[in-house]
Structure 1
Amino acid sequence: MLTLLTDFTIQNVMIGAALLGIVSGVLGSFAVLRRQSLLGDTLSHAALPGICIGFMLAGTRDLPMLLAGALVTGALAALAMLALTRTTRLKTDAGLGIALSISFATGVVLLTHIQTTGSAGQGGLESFLFGQAAAILRSDLYLMGGIGALALAIVSAFWKEFKLVSFDPDYARTLGLPVLALDVAITTIIALAVVIGLQMVGVVLMAAMIVAPAVAARQWSNRLGTMVVLAAIFGMASGLFGALVSATARGLSTGPLIVLAASVIVLVSLAIAPGRGIVWEWLQHWKNRRSLPARRVLTTLYRLAAEHGDPAYPAEQSMLDAYHGTATASSLERLKSRGLISAVAHAPEFTPHWALTPSGIIEAETLLGRREAEPGI
């Protein structure tokens, strides 16, 4: 393992994967919260014609020129989507779908044209479709790091504005904020994240890197700051895992492994995240079903007490059994252990009787949705 970590190529791949994961996790959080998960897919596919145009202008596979072209066409596709949704009755998903299909079709046509020209410099250009992490150079990392730092700096500088526009654009508009300009800014920096990942995971898989870390992080937190940090951590972990596995396993591409790692994190988060995970919801459902009989007995005691105008009204256990059509002993013991009811004597009878405690009254009112007690309670 240490030998692998000292390999120059593997170091480049790991650093690039980590940078990609951090930036895509942070910026993807805003896309997910704005319900624009398809935005990453649109921008990544819209980058293909820009890559081709950049190659045609440079005449060679010059990475800065290719990425600049990808950024321009990606941003133009995003702006076209915004224009469609704001000037027509099209929904956001329809606008994204139109921008995606037209951009990618244009990119495929340009790529085919370049390949038929027989240019010596076009070799490996198609690798941007699925990524080629092993081809990353140290100079490429400097470029990726600079773009990523710029994107994160913009997010940091306009954190409050981006947060407000993402959650409540109407309120942001009443405060006088330039909502349209902020929308364009958010979309542009997401395009920056897409540009960073093109060489690592490619046009086709980049959308997953925008969405997956953010979706996983959303399961663990309801706070934007915490979600962004978790998304960056999940993205970085996915990148490092994919890079290490591809370095140790022969014939496995780095990009797909990074996306698979991110997908695993998403599945685990969807399953076990507290408060939102499937397992958590199943446990809550099981607890609710188990406590339902006790809740019914508690509300029955409350209604009997309200009917008799006595908060300490002693209800006979056999009467509760007859009312519910089943034995209520286990439910009564459960309520007693929680301090919601207490066993009371009711002379001259010697059968078990139960009465609500003050805590039981409050609990029953909560279950019945009453803020105030019935008269006499």
Structure 2
Amino acid sequence: MSLLALLSDYTLQNVAIGAALLGLVSGVLGSFAVLRKQSLLGDTLSHAALPGVCLGFIIGGGRHMGSILAGALITGALAALVMLLLTRMSRLKTDAALGISLSVFFAVGVVLLSYLQGGSNASQGGLDAFLFGQAAATLRSDLWIMGGVSVFALALVTALWKEFKLVSFDTQFAATLGLPVAWLEALMTVMIALAVVVGLQMVGVVLMAAMIIAPAVAARQWAHRLESMVLLAAVFGIIGGVSGAMISALARGLATGPLIILSLSSVVIVSLMFAPGRGFVWEILKLKRDRRQLRYQQVLTTLYRLASHHSDPGYRLDQGMVDAYHRTNTKRALERLMRRGLVTLTTPPSHEPGQRKQWVLTAEGCREAERILDSLGQEASA
């Protein structure tokens, strides 16, 4: 199939647009969940949406997307409010409250799903697809609903940007300014439920947690400000969603939802590895550089201390003596110090036949060693 024919495919267009909308809203709203250290919130709300899907099916009398998504939003928001009440009205920590909400609501959802599957209503067939998503079944009417929810969520974030930003970083300061912190936290939590609602058709209940968290985690590695983090998270979400949909279209038989999550996971892995200043690769290189620098400083201060002990700035040291002192080969460190002009290699006196060349501190090396020792002394005293 040519690229033009692929792009003109009706099903692919629906899936790609839906995945882009999902990535956009998940990236924006998930950023606040990550910053508030509530990464499990997406998992809880996505599982809590299952009973809402079943109740929406029962009330609507069939697989009407509007009623199903409304039911998912209600139960997801209810689970979020239960979590908030448990943390505020009891001694439970956030992770325990999230676990309780997740388990109870998901258990209710499984019971309702089993009940519906045992019934005589033929339209319940495929209702369990909401567990893992069924992107290929996305219709244009579904896209309008997803788009409306996404626009509403983004408009709310824009309108309350300063308040959400302050509550995410410093709730106590926000409270001193008179902001309704509890209501703002509840609203942000309900908005995560909105993102879950958008993604039910695409990736399903089980995988939706990764969709909420992955774009924000990847963006956090690159960004130093909330504005840039939210923007990058939205971009990463769109890229992951669309690329997953395209891969699913090219490789027939592969589920779209898991491929979207795998695409986002690839973005997260690349970000964790190579993000400037925070990536694992840069941390490893920095650690090696710091270790080398420490070794150079240790060798230099050793030469200085020995010269000071013998009251001889030109005190000569054999390579073997330096190695024995540090219990390792210091040749590379000494050669680097020599390239920097801090030490020099001298020929031993004529009355010491058979001696190898010896290392001697230069005047610049003495000053550098004194500076290092002074800074270490100041750090110790502080």
**How far is the alpha carbon of 1:280 from its aligned partner?**
2.5
Alignment partner of 1:76 is 2:78? yes
CA contact (8 A) 1:304 1:313 kept: no
Q: Report the counterpart of residue 51 of structure 2 in structure 1.
A: 49
What CA deviation, in whole Å up to 9, does each residue of 1:235-265 have, x standing for no partner?
1111111111111222111111111111222
Query: How many aligned positions are there?
Result: 367
Displacement of 1:153 after TM fit? 1.8
SS at match of 1:353: strand
Distance in 1 between residues matched to 2:330 and 2:82, nearest whole Å: 65
Equivalence for 1:370: 378
2:360 is equivalent to residue 353 of structure 1: yes
Partner of 1:240: 242
**Does structure 1 retain, via aligned residues, the 8 Å contact 2:304–2:366?**
no
Query: Partners in 2 of 1:327 and 1:110 — Cα distance?
Result: 70
Match of 1:91 in 2: 93
1:352 CA displacement: 5.3
Paired residue for 1:66? 68
1:317, 1:328 within 8 Å by CA — same for their partners in 2?
no
How far residue 63 of structure 1 moved from its aligned partner, in angstroms, is: 0.9
How big is the shift at 1:44? 0.6
3-state SS of 2:203 partner: helix
Shift of 1:177: 2.1
Q: 1:141 to 1:89 in 2, by over 3 A?
A: same
Could you tell me which residue of structure 1 aligns to residue 232 of structure 2? 230
- Note the alpha carbon deviations across 1:132-179, whole angstroms, 9 max, x for none: 111111121121112112112222222232222222222222232221
Q: For the structure 1 residues 48 and 331, does the alpha-carbon distance in structure 2 shift closer, same or farther, using more than 3 Å as the test? A: same
Corresponding residue SS for 2:202: helix
* 1:20 and 1:239 in contact (8 A); partners too: yes
* 2:378 alignment partner AA: R
Give CA-to-partner distance per residue, 1:173-200, whole Å, 9 cap, x none: 2232221111111101111111000000
Task: Give 1:80 deviation, angstroms.
Answer: 0.2
> What whole-Å deviation, never above 9, does each CA across 1:66-107 have from its counterpart, x for those lacking one?
111111110010000010011111111110011011111111
State the AA in 1 paired with 2:169.
Answer: F
Structure-2 change in CA distance of 1:264 and 1:361 (3 Å): same
**Which range moves more in the overlay, 39-48 or 159-168?**
159-168
Q: Does the residue aligned with 1:251 lie in a helix, a strand or coil? A: coil
Describe how 1:123-202 pairs up with structure 2 within 5 A: 123-202=125-204
Report whether the alignment pairs 1:287 with 2:294.
no
1:313: Cα distance to partner? Answer: 5.8
Q: TM-score, normalised by structure 2?
A: 0.85
Q: 1:154 to 1:358 in 2, by over 3 A?
A: farther
AA of the residue aligned to 2:170: D
SS of 1:125's equivalent in the other structure is coil
Aligned residues: percent identity?
A: 61
Partner of 2:24: 22
- Deviation, 1:223, is 2.7
The 2-side partners of 1:221 and 1:307 are apart by 51
Map of 1:221 onto structure 2: 223
CA distance, structure 2, for counterparts of residue 305 and residue 143 of structure 1: 79
For residues 178 and 171 of structure 2, the distance between their equivalents in structure 1, rounded to whole angstroms, comes to 11
Gap change, CA 1:300 and 1:74, over 3 Å in 2: same
Q: Which amino acid aligns with 2:33?
A: A
**Kindly tell me: are residues 276 and 118 of structure 1, through their superposed partners in 2, closer, same or farther at Cα, counting changes over 3 Å?**
same
